[in-house]
Structure 1
């Protein structure tokens, strides 16, 4: 009988042990490699999603300021106010009322065709000429650029001039914009020529220009960060000194860099924190190690995907009320018009009355509760007849299907106003707001999605002019406007 050589036994045991050690080392190295790759991938995915959210937020803000301004600068009524001896009361309503109170536009300026300042508003007051001229000096290049844009885009018809299409949404846009520092505050500046939106036309001359400035206040920046779930969200003309996530965008006309920065916890931290303890135990049980790594990786990927889904949801929904936002509403309206060539739909523009006093008196928590309650009540009244969206601030919009019964739609509008006007309980308070509604029908009042929204919006402002707390049909408003034009002529 042959005996096993002791050295061979030791060598075999050592070989098996070495193989086991090598296997464990290989497993540990491969596990660490997988963790590192997965952590970096998760970090990259989250950072890319955060960059998209930050860029979308700023682009949305620029578009929003331009859209708000165009409600005055793209309006026949404004042309009439300029042509009839400069109606100061009209511009006081717009520049001291709508802009600062409803749209958060802190400063605005009316500029004459010869580039002279006519009015300068800061907050809810017109300022002295010296302060207005200081503001004008900081935006004069945008005024000139806006006038040039108008002259390039205008169309002549029988010796008069007009602008075809939407000055805000059509490419190229009519307005000039920039992100710049005005008197120490960074914000969005919009300058646009004042043009008619209907039957009015302009003469062969340089147009008046309306300039608006909405600053990135600390409150507004904090709201941005909350909406897209980013900590320490900042907008600056200088790169941040600390180590922060950063994306650089072009300011606009001045072609300068604007730095958007924020802080966030990288997903890889969670991966390492959860996986390393498990990895120590997995040195003894390789199967459990692999299972743990797989679970940790799957969980992190799930969280990353969930964060992306959340960002996609936020891109089409309002974070406060959970209603669809303007983007989602525009898509629904375009789809409705594209699919239903034979049907009729109605657009309801809804604006709250007396919301700002509630918000200022009882605070933003009370204001937020009012907005959530109003959103829920509008949805309850509309039901399955259409969709309701929040445009921002205290503005809502609804799209109704099968809207041929106009009297029925107006009764529904009255129900919306009545339901909104019911008391709202917040803590130990009873809060009250009202509402005004403007209604336009497609295709009766407009042929395109943008124009039917604008018709409804104009009807809304007409309802407010008549005393608020009421609804107004676009077709009746247009008839009144036509009668007024006949009287003028």
Structure 2
């Protein structure tokens, strides 16, 4: 009996089954390939975003320390105070007052032209012990570089020298900086030559140098970690096991590099965990599987892009009020001045009155709510006529361009003060604060951005001296009064 040959139906069924098996295998292989590629791409995006966030954070902190240091080092009054006999009253205000209380500078030093130590401030007191000499020895290289930077960038004529430009935001900065470990504590060290910003000049020779050091304290590191949404932020001279989640900074001193590391979960863990069960369920519906993977990947990229956008926003805005920060304000002011040399700009320095009693009496939550509401009121009053920024604490600053008629601006200032003085409800309490405003115009009250800001600041402090709750123009402050104004806490 001749054996029967398999029918075409069997062959067809086998072919279909084989095709199905091949299709399933191809689907599984392609899906695994897509998962692997998307996981790697997502990991790379996340790691790159994390590194950008940390880099931006460190750069911002260095810029902030340099900016704060420059406010004292780049000043005629500082040059005058560093003569043969130091003006100790001035340096007590600057190194023991403004630096630790307002600028977040923990240690500072004034170094003479011959590298000898003239002053060393540790917190809120001057220290002349071995600790002071230790600080100098660990920053001597920065002092030398700061002096070298001065010689390279200074301008002079007839044996008199000065510095043109902005020491921090200019094309070629005057300051030098480094991440380093000083007396067992990591931090940011910045040094800048003491140079005049106005009429004074320096003789030929090496300049005196101001050095500032901001420590990476546990409290600050915790704030940084919260701000950029990365856990376990740490700074060490020991290289971490996983360099993908770390950035190495080469210190200018001889010694090991400084590593900034963090802890973060990679997107690939979630991708594999969430997609594998779905992959098994979607063997019969290949199109839905691929659609699900595409959607999951798109969402992942969207979340990563969202995190990048948030980090960019935080780098230029105040986290409490959402207003612009000082760095963004400075760039905008420089841009406005550079774009229209024939126009005018007005700068408003705004400081709250009676804020400290409210904050002390009702707590920081009430104080934060007051700052948020005041920020909204100022921004509403300014509208689309300019930019409002928060400098820190209860200090705000606004830039107005176009509508710069002095009478109109002063009416606007009165309106801002009136709006700020309105009742603020918090829980079951009615809170009240006031405001003082100083106004300066570019180029009438200052030829540079820093000079016009300083003029507005002087007008603000004059307003406070005259009884607060008022707006004062910079041209209403007499020169003799300007010289007598001292920065307040």
TM-score by length of 2: 0.87
Q: How far, CA to CA, are the matches of 2:354 and 2:158 in structure 1?
A: 46
Shift of 1:201: 1.0
Structure-2 residue corresponding to 1:245: 245
Shift of 1:264: 1.6
Structure-1 residue corresponding to 2:210: 210
The answer to whether the 8 Å contact 2:458/2:482 transfers is no
Q: How far, CA to CA, are the matches of 1:358 and 1:214 in structure 2?
A: 29
Residues 368-392 of structure 1: CA deviation (Å, up to 9, x unaligned): 4343233223213323332212234
Q: Does residue 269 of the first structure (1) align with residue 288 of the second (2)? A: no
Structure-2 residue corresponding to 1:371: 371
Segments of structure 1 that go 5 or more residues without pairing to the other structure are: 485-489
- Structure 1 pair 75/450, CA: closer, same or farther in 2 (3 Å)? closer
Shift of 1:157: 1.8
Structure-2 residue corresponding to 1:150: 150
Residues 63-119 of structure 1: CA deviation (Å, up to 9, x unaligned): 110110111111111122233832111111111111111111111122223322222
Structure-2 residue corresponding to 1:304: 304
Structure-2 residue corresponding to 1:405: 405
Q: Does residue 44 of the first structure (1) align with residue 41 of the second (2)? A: no
Q: 1:320-335 counterparts in 2 under 5 A? A: 320-335=320-335
The answer to whether the 8 Å contact 1:177/1:253 transfers is no
The answer to whether the 8 Å contact 1:244/1:262 transfers is no
Per mean C-alpha deviation after superposition, the further-off stretch among 163-172 and 362-371 is: 362-371
Shift of 1:30: 0.6
- Structure 1 pair 143/338, CA: closer, same or farther in 2 (3 Å)? closer
Shift of 1:17: 1.2
Q: How far, CA to CA, are the matches of 2:144 and 2:76 in structure 1?
A: 22
- Structure 1 pair 339/172, CA: closer, same or farther in 2 (3 Å)? closer
Shift of 1:186: 0.8
Shift of 1:215: 0.6
- Structure 1 pair 115/453, CA: closer, same or farther in 2 (3 Å)? same
Structure-1 residue corresponding to 2:120: 120
The answer to whether the 8 Å contact 1:103/1:393 transfers is no
Structure-1 residue corresponding to 2:58: 58
The answer to whether the 8 Å contact 2:385/2:403 transfers is no
Residue aligned with 2:169, SS = coil
Q: How far, CA to CA, are the matches of 1:24 and 1:367 in structure 2?
A: 62
Q: How far, CA to CA, are the matches of 1:248 and 1:140 in structure 2?
A: 23
TM-score by length of 1: 0.87
Q: How far, CA to CA, are the matches of 1:23 and 1:360 in structure 2?
A: 71
Per mean C-alpha deviation after superposition, the further-off stretch among 57-66 and 201-210 is: 201-210
The answer to whether the 8 Å contact 2:420/2:433 transfers is yes
The answer to whether the 8 Å contact 2:179/2:249 transfers is no
The answer to whether the 8 Å contact 2:146/2:175 transfers is yes
Per mean C-alpha deviation after superposition, the further-off stretch among 445-454 and 60-69 is: 445-454
**Alignment RMSD, CA only?**
3.2
Per mean C-alpha deviation after superposition, the further-off stretch among 430-439 and 275-284 is: 430-439
Q: How far, CA to CA, are the matches of 2:373 and 2:290 in structure 1?
A: 50
The answer to whether the 8 Å contact 2:60/2:315 transfers is no
Residue aligned with 1:6, SS = coil
The answer to whether the 8 Å contact 1:438/1:473 transfers is yes
Structure-2 residue corresponding to 1:77: 77
Structure-2 residue corresponding to 1:136: 136
- Structure 1 pair 332/115, CA: closer, same or farther in 2 (3 Å)? closer
The answer to whether the 8 Å contact 1:274/1:296 transfers is no
Residue aligned with 1:103, SS = coil
Structure-1 residue corresponding to 2:169: 169
Residue aligned with 1:294, SS = helix
Structure-2 residue corresponding to 1:192: 192
Structure-2 residue corresponding to 1:258: 258
Residues 143-184 of structure 1: CA deviation (Å, up to 9, x unaligned): 232223223333222222211211222243222222111222
Shift of 1:364: 5.2
The answer to whether the 8 Å contact 1:244/1:263 transfers is no
Residue aligned with 1:248, SS = strand
Q: How far, CA to CA, are the matches of 1:140 and 1:97 in structure 2?
A: 24
Structure-2 residue corresponding to 1:487: none
Q: How far, CA to CA, are the matches of 1:104 and 1:257 in structure 2?
A: 24
- Structure 1 pair 172/384, CA: closer, same or farther in 2 (3 Å)? closer
Shift of 1:262: 1.2
- Structure 1 pair 205/165, CA: closer, same or farther in 2 (3 Å)? same
Number of residue pairs the alignment of both structures matches: 482
Shift of 1:393: 4.7
Per mean C-alpha deviation after superposition, the further-off stretch among 205-214 and 6-15 is: 6-15
